[in-house]
């Protein structure tokens, strides 16, 4: 642990446990392998404020690309991640333990002290059941639609966005979204990879 942290006894560090506070602490000792003893001097609120509550709902894609969505989304300020199973999903499940580890590491790196949540895979139909209270703020990104404009989201505190798989949503899925009155928007004329779309859209909505 000593070699990994590269910190010496009596150095000051900031700790967090997900309760919204930062704990200013001093390293007291390394009593044994993988154990660090700290002395907490004070607790204070984290001043990093997120602009809105953003839920990123993404169709299952390749493992490395999912990890990129989780890492960069956390750094940008995403509040919740929800993987979904769609017609063109490339996988059927997700390693939640690995996903949570990536989120925690990204949370530490970017200075947040409350990590985003991630839940297990749900079916696409469950999305609008879980978010029926804000169904009018669910954005589906699809090439050729009206470009997303930040001004239309300025008064919205909660937003969900749906990111499709490689190959995009099927016509049936798009029709289903329309019946649920989802907002259809595009991220420009280029065809973006799923992970790129998730990162670009998150940065835009949280700017």
pLDDT value, residue 59: 95
Q: Which residue carries 């004329």 as its tokens?
A: 189
For 7-37, write each residue's pLDDT tens digit: 677 677 666 666 667 767 677 777 777 677 7
Contact predicate 194/59, CB 8 Å: yes
Model confidence at 98: pLDDT above 90: yes
For 155-197, write each residue's pLDDT tens digit: 668 889 999 998 899 999 999 999 988 999 999 888 899 999 9
Instruction: Spell out a b/e string for 173-189, using b for 16 or more CB atoms within 10 Å of the CB, else e.
Output: bbebbeeeebbebbbee
- Helix 96-110 vs helix 63-76: crossing angle, to nearest 10: 30
Model confidence at 124: pLDDT above 50: yes
The torsion angle over the Cα atoms of residues 160, 164, 170 and 172, rounded to 10 degrees, is -10
CATH of domain 53-205: 3.40.1280.10
- Domain boundaries defined on the chain: 2-45, 53-205
Who's near 38: CB < 8 A, 6+ residues apart?
13, 15, 25, 26, 27, 28
Predicted structure pTM score: 0.79
Q: How large a percentage of the chain has pLDDT more than 70?
A: 81
- Three-state SS at 115: coil
Q: Which residue carries 């984290």 as its tokens?
A: 46
pLDDT value, residue 2: 46
């Amino acid at each position: 642990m000593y070699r990994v942290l590269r910190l010496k006894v009596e150095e000051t560090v900031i700790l967090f446990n997900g309760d919204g506070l930062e704990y200013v602490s001093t390293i007291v000792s390394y009593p044994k392998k993988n154990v660090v003893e700290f002395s907490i001097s004070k607790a204070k609120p984290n001043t990093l404020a997120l602009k809105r509550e953003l839920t990123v709902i993404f169709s299952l894609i390749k493992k490395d690309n999912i990890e990129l969505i989780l890492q960069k989304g956390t750094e940008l300020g995403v509040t919740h991640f929800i993987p979904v199973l769609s017609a063109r999903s490339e996988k059927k499940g997700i390693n939640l333990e690995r996903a949570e580890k990536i989120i925690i590491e990204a949370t530490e790196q970017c200075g947040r002290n409350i990590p985003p949540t991630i839940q297990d895979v749900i079916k696409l139909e469950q999305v609008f059941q879980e978010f029926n209270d804000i169904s009018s703020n669910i954005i589906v990104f699809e090439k050729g639609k009206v470009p997303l404009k930040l001004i239309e989201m300025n008064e919205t505190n909660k937003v969900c966005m749906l990111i499709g798989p490689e190959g995009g949503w099927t016509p049936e899925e798009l029709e289903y979204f329309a019946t649920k009155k989802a907002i259809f928007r595009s991220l420009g004329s280029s065809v973006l990879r799923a992970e790129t779309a998730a990162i670009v859209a998150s940065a835009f909505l949280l700017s």
